[in-house]
Each structure stands twice: as structure tokens, then as C-alpha cells.
């Protein structure tokens, strides 16, 4: 018992309408890595927030170093040796590395921050743990992997015995992710315990000592990497057997549907986001665009769908060449779009399912006549979509905001797929949705391909890219590093390209 660094015993937490954690018990021992696995909404974040003192449990309690504790806030957890690396980094971008690390626990000399002493301690820590970093670098100039290192050092500076890592590999290339897992392994050699939250099965098996699987707020399984497999874990997460890899036939590419020629685009801050990118997508094939997020994917999708102006270059959809086009003009050419941010560009939360199901064609017959909407026709259409795409909802009149992420996504897919489409642009089509819905959407995308649509698939999940694509383009720093045939692609090869390395 005394070996327990951090644990929860019979913890329950209720939010309005949801039981986020129900009688959850987990424990982490010294020098071990505990993986918390579960789908979005399974209760991982709630549990971790309880362990870190952000929430108080309604029932049960937290154990730190064998003792029952009542955490009053994150600073309480920090002072007891719990460190957390958040999914979205909690760093002050324009400040230097050393300032970020000591913020909140600054060494003081004569009433002022003793920056020399702070730098000395940071250098000592980073050398001691083999986490090299330039203490005077400004955080916003550092690559994501380095920023994460700053976060880890921040926790170690506060003498953390436990490191909670929330989805730490989501923003990393496969190689960076492997490196991080190695670092975590080494840190446990010094007696540190790590709680590792993820939904990536491969990583769990690679690094964890103990695995706890959560579903609907409850612990549904406890195991170790030796006792289980990827499909075993997936089954535990979902509660039924799932197909991790969708079967697909060989592509039969036809004519070029989308041709992008020397496309350059700026991001919101006016920096070059895409630099003379050229590629083609043909009928009946899926072109996957891989890359670490923030390398121009968003701007590419926005440019192709008409949401963002081009700085130079041209695009051709079918036979029409154009350099500017409104979203509607492009959509009328038979282009469907599954947007990356479904809350912002996919649905209107306060509108009903009926209204959302025709957002892209409410202005056309038969949905409206002489500028007036025909509610009955729209409703029939919405009910058709709900039926065909298995959207779980009590009725089509409720606001879309009441649906879960997966159901919203299925509604969007249903709306976009209900016309004949020539070109499908799918950006992060399965982000943040459960495995069951992922499987469903993947099958639907393949179905469109087999019906002859050209598909541009942009995703940060490498497994998704590898599983669906016929060809894979890798974006790095606004440029296409290479386009590889899916048959010749593997994680390592794509991963190196994602890091900008070509041989």
C-alpha cells in the first residue's frame, strides 16, 4: 500500500446530466507507467482532473503516497509532488523557457526574480534528466516537441514524483512520439511514476506497465501489455468487437478531378502557410495528406473549399479552372466537405437536425420554392439521413448541440453524401469520435471512392491515413515533401517525411 504514489479509491463525480466517473479506483506505483485508456467521454479527463485537484470528487477520495488527501486545488496537488503536462500546453508563448519553468515558484534575490539562479537550476535539471533545452529560447519559437519538454521540466522543477501526461503524443510526429515514450521510460528509472492518458492503442502496448480501460465513466478492465493485444484493448474500450482496419479493394483511378497547381496561401497571421503546392486527385482514389498539425493542412483545406483566398497558383475542379470562388460556387461543382472543426464549420448548434441536414442546399428545389423553405420536405430529407447514417437522436426537431460528437459527425457526413459527389474533401473526419462511429465513417468514405468520387483526406492520425489512402502526400512546413504510393508506405517512412527529413 505504501508504494502507491497516486491513486483514486471509489471515486464518483457527477455533472449535470452525466455520471462522469462512477466508483473508479486506480493506483500508480513508484517507477511505473499507468496508461488510462478510453474513448472521448469515457471519463479519463474527469478522473485526471480529480487526481490533479481541479475537481473534487462527489464520493471517494484521492490517495497520494499512501495517504488519503483532500485536494483543494492544483497548487495543492503540485505541492504534494503531482505534475501535469496538459494536452494544450500551459506555457506563456512570448516568455523565455527559464521564465516559463520557474513561473509561480521563482527563486528570489533582493526582492527580484533571480534569473541567474533560475537558469542554473534549469540547466542542472535538463542535464540531470538528459532533456537538453536552451533556457533562453523564447517558447513560441520552439517546435512542439521542445515545448512539451519545457512542460516536463516545469513539473520536475517543482519536484514532481508523478507526471500526468494528457494525450501527449497527439501533436508529435511518430519519431518524436517514440522519443517521448523513451524519455518517460528513463524517467521512471529514477522512481518517478507516470500516468499516461491516450486513445492510441499502439503506444499503450509499447510503454505502459499497467493499463486501465474506462468506458462510460467506469473501469471496465485492468490489464498489462503482456496479457492483451490491440484488438483486445479496442474491444474493452468499445464493449464489442471492432474492426480496426477497414477492408478495401484496389483503387481504379480515372480522370483527374482536382488539380492544384503551385498553390500558395497565407495563414491568419499573414505568414506563408502553403508554398507552391501542386498535386492531383483522380476519380476513384483517395489521396491522403499526412503531416503534424499546423504544417498547412488547415489552410490547404480552406483554400480548396473556398474558405480562404489564394495568394498565388490555381486550382481546377473537373474542367473549370479558377483562382477565386465562393464556397457555394465550389460546392455546386459537386464538392462535398467534411470540415475539421465541426462545431465551427460543420453544424449550427442551435439549429435543429432538420435545418442542419440541408445547410448546403436549402436554397434549391425541392427544399425551398420562391425563397420560402418547405419544412415538410426538409423534415423527410433529415429523417432519411438520420435513418441511413445511423444518427442517434430522439427526433430531428431537437437542436444539433444536444448530439454527441460522433452523431454530429454522422449527420454532417450524411448531409454531404446525399448528393452525387465528384470530389470529397474530408478534414480530420473522425476526430474526437468513438471507435464505432470511426469505423462507420471510414466505410462510407471508401464507398464514395468506389462510386467514383475523388477523395482528399486530411488527417493527423497516421493510422487513418495509412488505412484509407491509395496515395499519400506528406505536408511539412507548407510544402509537399513527397507523394508515396500507399502500398510502399509505412509508419517510419511517412514519419520521417512528417519531420521534414528526406533521404
Partner 1 sequence: MGQVVKLQQKRLLYMGLIAVLVLIWFFYRANGPQTTAVLAGTVRAATLLALGAMCGMIGERSGVVNIGIEGQFLLSAFAAFTIASMTGSLFMGTIAGVGMGLLMGWVLAGMAVGLKVDQIIAGTVLNISALGLTSFFYDRSRSLGMGKYTNIDLGPLADLPLVGTVLFSRPPLTYLTMALLVVVHIALFRSVWGMRTRAIGEHPGAADTVGIDVIKLRYFNVTIAGGLAGLGGAYLALEAVGTFSRAMSGGRGFLALAVMIFGRRTPFGAYAAALFFGFTTALQNQFQLNSTFDIPPQFVGMLPFVVTIVVVALSGLIGSMRDPAALGQTYEKG
Contact residues: partner 1, CB under 8 A: 54, 73-75, 78, 84, 86, 89-95, 99-100, 103-106, 108, 111-113, 138, 141, 154
Of 437, 441, 447, the C-alpha closest to 427 is 441
CB 146 → partner 1: shortest distance, Å? 16
DSSP assignments along 336-395, one per residue? EEE-S-IIIII--TTSBHHHHTTTTTTTSTTTEETTEE-HHHHHHHHHHHHHHTT---S-
Strand, helix or coil at 225?
A: helix
Shorter beta-carbon distance to partner 1: residue 140 or 252: 140
CB of 90 to partner 1, least distance (A): 4
C-alpha span between 190 and 182 (Å, rounded): 14
| CA-based nearest residue to 5, from 156, 165, 160, 143 | 160
Closest to partner 1 by CB, 75 or 388: 75
For the bound state, the minimum distance from the C-beta of residue 92 to partner 1, rounded and expressed in Å, comes to: 5
Q: Specify the residue, 71 or 300, whose C-beta has the smaller distance to partner 1.
A: 71
CB of 18 to partner 1, least distance (A): 16
Torsion 363-367-370-373 (CA) sign: negative
Reported for 120-128, long-range contacts at CB under 8 A and 24+ positions apart, including other chains, are: 121/157, 122/97, 122/98, 122/153, 122/157, 125/153, 125/156, 125/157, 126/153
Integer Rg of the chain from CA: 25
The smaller minimum CB distance to partner 1, of residues 106 and 293, is found at 106
CB of 109 to partner 1, least distance (A): 10
Tell me the closest approach of the beta carbon of residue 379 to partner 1, in angstroms.
38
Q: Which of 161/434 has CB closer to partner 1?
A: 161
- Closest to partner 1 by CB, 101 vs 498, is 101
Nearest distance from residue 104's CB to partner 1, in Å?
A: 3
Where does residue 502 rank: exposed (0-12), middle (13-18), buried (19+ CB within 10 A)?
exposed
What pairs with residue 198 in β-bridges?
Answer: 37
The candidate with the shortest Cα–Cα distance to 42, out of 234, 232, 205, is: 234
Cβ closer to partner 1: 141 or 321?
141
Amino acid at each position: 500500500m505504501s508504494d502507491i504514489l497516486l491513486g483514486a479509491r471509489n471515486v464518483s463525480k457527477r455533472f449535470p446530466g452525466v455520471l462522469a466517473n462512477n466508483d473508479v479506483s486506480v493506483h500508480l506505483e513508484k517507477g511505473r507507467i499507468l496508461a488510462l485508456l478510453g474513448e472521448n467521454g469515457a471519463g479519463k479527463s474527469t478522473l485526471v482532473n480529480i487526481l490533479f485537484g481541479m475537481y473534487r470528487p462527489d464520493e471517494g477520495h484521492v490517495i497520494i503516497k499512501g495517504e488519503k488527501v483532500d485536494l483543494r486545488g492544483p497548487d495543492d496537488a503540485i505541492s504534494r509532488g503531482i505534475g501535469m503536462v496538459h494536452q494544450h500546453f500551459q506555457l506563456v508563448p512570448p516568455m523565455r523557457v527559464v521564465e516559463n519553468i520557474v513561473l509561480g515558484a521563482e527563486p528570489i534575490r533582493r526582492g527580484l526574480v533571480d534569473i541567474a539562479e533560475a537558469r542554473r537550476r534549469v540547466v542542472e535539471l535538463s542535464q540531470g534528466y538528459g532533456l537538453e533545452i536552451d533556457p533562453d529560447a523564447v517558447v513560441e519559437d520552439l517546435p512542439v516537441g521542445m515545448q512539451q519538454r519545457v512542460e516536463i521540466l516545469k513539473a520536475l522543477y517543482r519536484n514532481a514524483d508523478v507526471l500526468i501526461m494528457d494525450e501527449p503524443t497527439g501533436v508529435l510526429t511518430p519519431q518524436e512520439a517514440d522519443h517521448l515514450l523513451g524519455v518517460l521510460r528513463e524517467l521512471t528509472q529514477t522512481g518517478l511514476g507516470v500516468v499516461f492518458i491516450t486513445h492510441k492503442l499502439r503506444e499503450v502496448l509499447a510503454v505502459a506497465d499497467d493499463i486501465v480501460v474506462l468506458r462510460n465513466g467506469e473501469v471496465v478492465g485492468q490489464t498489462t501489455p503482456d496479457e492483451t493485444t490491440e484488438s483486445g484493448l479496442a474491444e474493452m474500450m468499445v464493449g464489442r468487437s471492432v474492426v480496426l482496419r477497414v477492408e478495401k479493394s484496389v483503387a481504379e483511378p480515372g480522370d483527374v478531378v482536382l488539380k492544384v497547381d503551385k498553390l500558395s496561401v497565407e495563414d491568419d497571421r499573414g505568414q506563408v502557410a502553403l508554398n507552391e503546392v501542386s498535386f492531383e486527385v483522380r476519380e476513384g482514389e483517395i489521396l491522403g495528406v499526412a503531416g503534424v498539425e499546423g504544417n498547412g493542412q488547415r489552410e490547404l483545406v480552406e483554400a480548396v473549399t473556398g474558405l480562404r483566398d489564394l495568394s498565388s497558383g490555381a486550382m481546377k475542379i473537373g474542367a473549370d479552372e479558377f483562382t477565386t470562388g465562393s464556397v457555394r460556387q465550389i460546392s455546386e461543382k459537386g464538392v462535398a466537405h467534411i470540415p475539421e472543426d465541426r462545431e465551427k464549420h460543420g453544424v449550427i448548434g442551435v439549429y435543429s437536425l432538420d435545418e442542419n441536414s440541408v445547410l448546403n442546399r436549402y436554397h434549391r428545389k425541392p427544399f425551398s420554392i420562391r425563397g420560402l423553405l418547405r419544412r415538410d420536405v426538409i423534415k423527410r430529407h433529415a429523417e432519411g439521413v438520420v435513418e441511413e447514417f445511423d444518427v442517434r437522436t430522439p427526433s430531428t426537431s431537437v437542436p444539433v448541440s444536444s448530439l454527441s460528437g460522433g452523431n454530429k459527425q454522422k449527420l454532417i457526413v450524411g448531409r454531404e453524401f446525399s448528393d452525387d459527389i465528384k470530389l470529397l474533401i474530408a478534414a480530420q473526419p473522425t476526430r474526437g469520435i468513438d471507435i464505432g462511429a470511426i469505423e462507420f465513417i471510414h466505410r462510407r468514405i471508401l464507398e464514395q471512392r468506389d462510386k467514383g468520387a475523388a477523395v482528399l483526406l486530411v488527417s493527423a492520425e497516421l493510422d487513418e491515413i495509412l488505412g484509407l489512402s491509395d496515395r499519400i502526400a506528406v505536408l511539412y512546413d507548407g510544402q509537399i515533401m513527397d507523394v508515396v504510393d500507399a502500398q510502399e508506405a509505412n509508419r517510419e517512412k511517412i514519419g520521417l517525411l512528417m519531420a521534414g527529413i528526406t533521404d
